[in-house]
Amino acid sequence: MLREGGYRLTPQRRAVLQVIFASDGHLTPAEIHNRVSAEHPGVGLVTVYRALEMLSRLGLICEVHSGGSCRSYLVRKPQEHHHHLICSGCGRVVDFAGCGLDKLAERLNRETGFAVEGHLLEFSGVCPACQK
């Protein structure tokens, strides 16, 4: 997919991908950098951020907004359009599809003249395990 998008699979990008794909949950850029630099000490944090931006743009990973300006990343599952439920207790992220916002986007297009290209929908709450 990288080659199709006009990118090369550099050793640094491969290392970032391996860390994200090996993780069960979402990771912050700093966590990804720590894990990558354990194996590849020369990889800088800026390189990790650039790789994350590119991988997100290609749709290989999802960006999760976990409050404030904190962002984390995880493997995009499922590949189609989806959103997230985020537990404010443990940080667990659950994917869901079918947000029903297509009609709202169409209305916003008509009313504002914007050409809506996409949207992010995240709910925060407490998962069943943390409620106990």
Do 116 and 99 belong to one domain? Answer: yes
Domain that residue 108 falls in: 83-131
Condensed to tens digits (0 to 9), the pLDDT of residues 72-97 reads 787 766 566 777 788 888 877 787 87
Do 15 and 66 belong to one domain? Answer: yes
Contacts of 126 (CB under 8 A, 6+ apart): 87, 88, 89
- E-assigned strand segments in the chain: 61-65, 71-75, 83-87, 93-96, 122-125
Contacts of 132 (CB under 8 A, 6+ apart): none
In a domain? residue 2: no
Do 18 and 66 belong to one domain? Answer: yes
pTM, entire model: 0.66
Do 62 and 108 belong to one domain? Answer: no
pLDDT score of 96: 80
Do 70 and 93 belong to one domain? Answer: no
Do 31 and 63 belong to one domain? Answer: yes
Residue 3: alpha-carbon gap to chain centroid? 20
Condensed to tens digits (0 to 9), the pLDDT of residues 113-128 reads 999 887 778 888 899 9
Do 58 and 106 belong to one domain? Answer: no
Do 92 and 45 belong to one domain? Answer: no
pLDDT score of 79: 60
Which residue, chain included where needed, has tokens 């999760």?
A: 64
Contacts of 11 (CB under 8 A, 6+ apart): 40
Number of domains composing the chain? 2
Cα 21 to Cα 31: distance, rounded to the nearest angstrom: 13
Cα 124 to Cα 10: distance, rounded to the nearest angstrom: 36
Taking residues 101-111, what's their average pLDDT? 90
Do 71 and 88 belong to one domain? Answer: no
pLDDT score of 114: 92
pLDDT score of 66: 63
Do 37 and 68 belong to one domain? Answer: yes
Which residue, chain included where needed, has tokens 């995880």?
A: 74
